[in-house]
Each structure stands twice: as C-alpha cells, then as structure tokens.
Structure 1
C-alpha cells in the first residue's frame, strides 16, 4: 500500500482509468491508504473479493470523480485540499481545487492523521460507512470491523491486538499501510463522528455526549473535536434543522443509577435507494415473541405486545398499515435496549436515506454499541451502486435489481442468538422456527425487571443452554432428540469461545461450526451471512438457488455464481425475495407455510 498521493496531472487527463499513469507518491511522511476504483462513478470496485487491497489511488480517476460531484463516490474516496488543510467528500459543492492542491485518501481517519479537518459545508463525517472491509478476511479487515464495533473503547488497542493474536506494533503497522491510520486514530475518528451526530440531532449536554460517544474525559473530547472539525464542541451548530429531541435525564454520566433511562431520537443514514418495505417485511416475518414487536405505536404499544406475546404473524403487519413502526430488543453492554424504527417517516435526499430510530438505553455509555447494532441489523453501510455494479451484468439478476432497488442483507443483532436460532429453524417452517425461538428466549433469559430500559427479554444465555441436558431441552422446547443435541453442542461451542462477532476469523468460525454434529453447509453459510456479516456468504446447496440457476449440483451452483463475488450474499437475498414474492402472488390471499429450502442437516 502507498501513502496518499499528490501530483500535477497532465493537461488532458485520459478518458479512462485503464490508461491512467501510475502515481508516484511524495515521501513526506503522511500516512495514506489506497482503494480500488474504476473510471465510472458509482461502478463497482474490482470484484476480486479484496476491495481496498493492493490498488493505489489513481489520481486521474479520483480527480474526475470530484469534477463530476457524483454522490455515489462519497465514502469511497476522500479529498484533502492542501491549501486549506480541509478534507471533503467528492460531491462537495465548493469550487473544485487546483490539481496540485489535491490529495486523495481512502478513509476519513487517514485524512485527519495527515493533518486535514472535515469540511463544514459538505460534512464528510456524515457519510454512511462502507462494507468494503466486510468482504475481506485478512488482519486489517478484521481489525477495522472490530474498531468500527467499538473494540478500542471496550478493550483498548492492547486487548484488540490480543484478540487478533498479533502484537500492537504489527497491528499498527498493518493498519497504517492498509487504511492510512493507526488503531487509536481510527477509534478517535469514530468517536468524533458519533459525537458530531449527537450534537446535530439531540439536546444532550456536551458532557453527556462525550460520555455517550466513548471519550474518557472532557479534555480528550475537546481536543479530538478540534482536531477533527477545527472547532471546540461548544462552537459546533446544534439541531441545524430546528428539530428538538426529547432525552430523559436518567442514566446520564452524572447519575447512571437513575430509574429513568436515556431515550434518543436519531436519524440513521445509509446510501439510497433503500428497500424500506422489503426490510420491514423481513423483520416482521422473523420477529421473535418477547424480543420484537410489530405494529407498535410508541412505547406503550410495544410494552403491551412484547412480553409473553403470542407468535407474531406476518399478516399482522402487512395489512392496513404496512409501514407501522417496529420495535426490537438490542443487546448492549449495560443490558437490553429498545430500538423503535419509524418506517413511515423514512426519507431520501441527496443520495442518502434517513431512517428514524428511537433508542431507549440502560445508560448513555450504551449509545454507540446500540447504534452499531441497529446499523448492522438494517445493513445501512451497504452501497447499492457498488452491489449493482457487481450483480447487474448477470441477466438473471438484472430484473431483480430493478424490481427491488436498494434491497439489503439484514444482519444479526446478536450473533450467538442467531446461531442458536438457525439450529431451531432447520427443516421447519418460519412460523414454527419463530415459536421455538420465543420459547428459547423465555426459558433461557431473564424477564426484564420493572423500570428497565427495555420491555424485551435479553438474548438467550448460551452458557445456560450448554449446561442443560438434551432431554430437558426436548421437553421444554418441543424439539427432536437430534435437534436438542445439536442445540446443546452449538451452545457449548459458543460458551467456550466460538467467536461469531465482527472481528472473527471467518475461516476458523466456519470450520468450527461445520465440525458440529447436525450443522451442515447451508447452516454454516447462513450464519456466516447474517452473524459473521460476510457479504459473499453463499449457501450453494439451497434448493431455491439451484432452481433459479438451473443447476443440478452444488458445484454447478457455485460455478454459476462465481461472477457475483464479493456480493453473493446479496444475490442470494434477491433470489430468495423473488421466489417468495412469486409464491405469494401465485397463492393470492391464501396463507402459505414458509418453504423449507435448506437441504437436510447432517445427522
């Protein structure tokens, strides 16, 4: 990887990236990063499964990107202007800088590490994240995912290096080479962007914002914000759109033991388009009694529906009010939070989508973990243009992309809960699987006490399940003997260290899962897709996929899907959604059981 690059381009830049001259970097000590780009704004990155690796930034391509001010480039490259020491998004409406004053970076943290601060006009800090690092399994990608999930705040750089089985020095060297910033700089930029969001959208006191964003002191908060934005926190504009946010005083930095809990109303942003109806329908169809509520209208409705509720049917939410809010349990370090999603108020503007989410938290320190989990659940870091560039050339997928623009790949709010739920969902209908998951939550999690931050139950305890005899699991949950044994074995693996989180070694996790009795390739890939967050996970043995591709064997299915890398998971989601839509249309209003499209699990 090479440092950020600057040069004076030729008077007539070439028309395509293929003929662009390789840039020779200035060795001025500035950290940098590189990113694979082609010459078409919004087109996909090179689809070799390693976005962000071994491709230096091409100056001519990047300069044409800022000349076109196409918002689809935002987040894929950042412009640093050496004459002003400001960094911008490519779509910034400000006057285009001279070529000799331009430097290009692959991350906001790399810009700050090189001495640039965020532009106040285009707000590059407000750009949604990227899934480029999710498509890779190397050390840098795993570290970025863990830092994005708050690992430096919770365990420090030392703990992160220990998790990744490397030295701190090696971790720092790899991240500077690949991303352009050290682990601490990446964490500081993450905290600063989180704090800026809270300053923009809430009425929280600045001290509480510092606490919620993960800063260790007010001095650190002030120094970092000045470094990132060029101003003290008190000088940054608040509620620029005039919207006021009601935040309860409880659970603040001053009084974390208060009975009243923080409630934040936020707008979480992603790249447009976004398939609102499709995502809501998915969450409703997979709602777990005691963990989710549909058709809720505020906290009272959520409270009435959540605890010990009957199994939720998808028709409850797709009838008269298909965009009614939904509420979901979110597991955070301080306990269980509630996220209420206001689907009917979702809006799109200037290439982004804003989804209203009301968070009720145990304490303010849980703000960032809760936001990270909701973003993962709603797949808000996906880039539809990049995904479309990878999948659109396939004539089998192009019509599906047109029918469902912005279709997302929902993530798992709790990887362990999802792995256990996958076992319960083998070879049964979706409704039956949901019922079993509700029983599991009721049997192996503690009901929330009065006055808690959430009306929902926490996720089932894997250790408790691991210590339970399979015969008791059969009786309490209504499982077969084989399924009860598989559930117990998976719980034991989770309780003894099987990591399915953002920084997990995916190859190792897949191998550990596959070694468990009763876990077949389909289950392994489904867990990789939603729990491990692998956008390229692909259950080749899925019967719906084989039927859609006209393949007779798993090997043939994999061969036909090879061109979809590194987004085979999104292709799978499109094919599943199309199958279910066709099935629903064929059966009209008649209630139909969810198809079991997984092949038989290994006995």
Structure 2
C-alpha cells in the first residue's frame, strides 16, 4: 500500500488507525517516522515519505515518534493472509528465527538461498532480514526498559543484542534517547501509586489490535475447549502454559475494547519476542477486520451477522503440533471428551510447571514426548489410535511440519495422506494451526447447520461453491456461522 501515495496521505490526514502497521510515514522535516494515526498535526504532503516497515524507516535514517510510538502498531495483515516466501519469512522473523538461527537458518527453513531471501525482503519491505530483526530487537528492548527494573545489560541480552554497546547504539538511534533516558521518561509519566515493578521474569504489556473487535468467539472458543492443567479461564482472563526455547512460560490474556492485556511469566526473558508473537497469533490480532467484514457483509446472508458483532477473529494456537494432536483427539467426540483425552496426555507426558497464580500444571507434550505413548492406553477406537500415533510420528521425525514457514497447500496434501485424515480435520488444522484465513471446513456439522438456517446450501459441495464469494476470508465466515449456534464457544465467559 505504501506506494499509493494519495491513499496514504488521506489516511494520515484523517488519522485513520485502520492503516497502522500497513505502512509508516517518515517526515522529511523532522527526521521522525510515525504511524498513520499519529495524533500530531499531519505534515504537509510534500514532506511525507512512506515506507512499508519500521525497519525501512530506520535504515533510511528516521527515528521513531515519541508520541505515537509506531513500533507498537499492530503487525501488517499481509503476513498472515499470504503463503508466499516473503510472508512466511516475516512470520518466522516475528518468531525470532533470525536471532536464534541467523539469516542462513531463516533461508534454510524456507528452502531458499540467503541471497534470494534478502533480495525478496528488500524488494517488498525496503529492508533485509537483519534490519527487520534489529527493529524487532529494538522494540523488545524498549518494552523491557519500560516495564521491568532489569539492569540494562540484562535487557540487552534478553532482547537479543550481541553486546551492550550495540544495544545502546540501537536504542539511541531508533528512539533518540539513551536506554536510561527512555526509562526515566517512562517513569516520569507513570501514574502515582501505580504499583511497583513486576516480579522477576514477569512482563505486563498491551497487545495492540485493529478495531472493530468482538472478543466473544475467540475467548469463548479458547475457554470452552481449554485443556485442564494446560489452559484455564480465571478472573476474566484466559491463561495457558507456553513451551518456549529457554524454559516454560505462562501467558495471561485479558480482553479489552481496543487492546489485549497481556502478562507473561517467563523462565528467561530472551523468550519475550517469541511469547508475544505466539499470543498475537493465538488471538489473530494482526487481522484487518474492516477488509474481512466488507467482503463478508456483501453477502446478504452474512450481512446481519457481521452488523451484529463485527470484528470477529479466528481462534488460533500457540503451538501448531499441539493443535494437530488435539484435532485428532476431537474427531467425532464432544468438546468435553476431547478435553478429557487431551488432559490425560498432558498429565502423563507433559512437563510439569509451577503456577502460583492459578491451576496450570503442565505443558502440553511435544511430539517427541508423545512418541513413546502406548496406544492401548487411549480410550478411543483403534482406528483413531492409529491416526494419532501416525501423526505424532510424522511430527516428531519432521516429515510433516506445521510451522510458520510451511506452504499451506503442501501441508494440506501431506496431512491428507495420513490414515484417518479427512477434509474436516485438515481444514480445521489449516484454519487454526497453519493460520490460513481462507480455510473452510465445509463438512463441519455446525457450519452446515448454520448455513441451512440462513437459507444457504447444507451439502458440503454446494456450500463450498456458494462460499466462493467469501474468499479469501472463508475462515472468518466460519466464525460468523458458528456464532449462530447457542454454544459456549460463542460466549465470552463470565
């Protein structure tokens, strides 16, 4: 979008928050860059230059605006609605892959050479993978500076910087303040009596999102299907354990009208970027609800549903392999039975965790941990045991991958080749684990019943043909269809 100068100027002049994260405005006269909705007086159009990423602005020598804090914008919806190499690269960078594995590791995951990935990212985002990862490190550093009492040296390494000097130089370059000045400025603006610093390893932050936002279905779904010991709804918040590279973590997510309150209890703060990325993906916070709802509301059958509760999100997952296992456990059984099966696996094979604030007890077991399960101990039909053990083996040996780097259609084909995998299981995994916004489980009983109530075809083939007009947002149409049913997944828990 950043190449459409006229449209970008209109968005800046109207302070349109819908475009935050789509592009960034660099102001030639001040040397700063802003989000489109910056509350400051808009500059003259002749002084505006538009960039596709914060990293591109920083590479061009611009500093982040201290007023609108553009680095806290929601992520671009582009990277979650596409499956090409650039979109998959951006999802991996958001997960911290460059910090952990370097650019060669990023390229290897995508099946390209380092030069090819750098060239594609530069062409579309105006910055290479190292610059994009650097911008993300700067954002993580700012967050830790502002929300913790950690020494600056600890923050430098937790944010992924190789040295304190690089950390100091980057923060000063991006924010025009030293780390100490940034912390002092933040505390001088804090409310009196707001409380002390969080406990060690704990970070509290606000996850930005685009409005409108209807949290009922995403939080209702997560709460209704929560695996005891792994997930829970407590005191108005969804809580769950996280399996992270440097140790277990716990996320507490609280819905608000214009953001998500997020508290992360981490074993190691180096996992902050990855934990934040997974929480955003879980709640589908980088979606563009205006574009989605405009397409779906064009259908007279869906228009009343969209008008009643606009901005529904697709409930996703923090761990694609975990969700795939749970999808198999949920085949042809009730929600309660699926939760029971999953809880038994978590208790028997998952890593124990401590949760002083609630009732979380285990991480959900990884495919490697489940590889040793005894199928005879599973209270399910033999055919489903075979489906589960085959899936676990394929996930454990890497013959099936469901990570951010995967091509959605190729992943579907590999899943369909497994015994016991039909269209429903594959599309549910595509929708919630792979993150395909156009996934469409046409054989789902709830979807078919809702379609018939709306006067739409109930047969899977006819419904799929009718749903062609909803593309590329059929996964969101599913959320609106499910919402017509009186089921706990559609209700924000009390």
Give TM-score, length-normalised by structure 2: 0.91
The structure showing larger relative contact order (alpha-carbon pairs under 8 Å, at least 6 residues apart) is 2
Is 1:156–2:102 an aligned residue pair?
Answer: yes
CA contact (8 A) 2:355 2:361 kept: no
CA contact (8 A) 2:22 2:77 kept: no
Following superposition, the deviation at residue 268 of structure 1 comes to: 2.1
Q: Structure 2 CA distance, aligned partners of 1:537 and 1:110? A: 32
What do the CA deviations read for 1:354-387 (whole angstroms, capped 9, x no partner)?
3222221111212222212222222222222222
What do the CA deviations read for 1:417-458 (whole angstroms, capped 9, x no partner)?
110010000000111111111011122223337999995312
Please, which moves more after superposition, 184-193 or 367-376?
367-376
Q: Structure 2 CA distance, aligned partners of 1:434 and 1:393? A: 37
Q: How does 1:132-531 map to 2 (within 5 A)?
A: 132-236=78-182, 237-239=185-187, 240-242=189-191, 243-249=194-200, 262-295=201-234, 324-343=236-255, 346=256, 348=257, 353-448=258-353, 455-468=360-373, 472-474=374-376, 476-497=377-398, 498-531=400-433
Q: Structure 2 CA distance, aligned partners of 1:118 and 1:583? A: 40
Count of matched residue pairs? 481
What do the CA deviations read for 1:494-530 (whole angstroms, capped 9, x no partner)?
0111211112122221111010010111111111111
Q: Structure 1 CA distance, aligned partners of 2:476 and 2:120? A: 29
Following superposition, the deviation at residue 467 of structure 1 comes to: 4.0
Following superposition, the deviation at residue 556 of structure 1 comes to: 2.4
Residues 230, 583 of structure 1: CA spacing in aligned structure 2 closer, same or farther, 3 A cutoff?
A: closer
Q: Structure 2 CA distance, aligned partners of 1:148 and 1:543? A: 35
Residues 111, 338 of structure 1: CA spacing in aligned structure 2 closer, same or farther, 3 A cutoff?
A: same
Following superposition, the deviation at residue 581 of structure 1 comes to: 5.2
Give TM-score, length-normalised by structure 1: 0.75
CA contact (8 A) 2:140 2:272 kept: no
Q: Please say which structure displays the higher CA radius of gyration.
A: 1
SS in 1 for 2:465: helix
CA contact (8 A) 2:450 2:482 kept: no
Structure with the largest fraction of helix: 2
SS in 2 for 1:186: helix
CA contact (8 A) 1:212 1:368 kept: no
What do the CA deviations read for 1:269-320 (whole angstroms, capped 9, x no partner)?
2223332343332221011012012335xxxxxxxxxxxxxxxxxxxxxxxx
Following superposition, the deviation at residue 583 of structure 1 comes to: 11
CA contact (8 A) 2:221 2:488 kept: no
Residues 389, 516 of structure 1: CA spacing in aligned structure 2 closer, same or farther, 3 A cutoff?
A: same
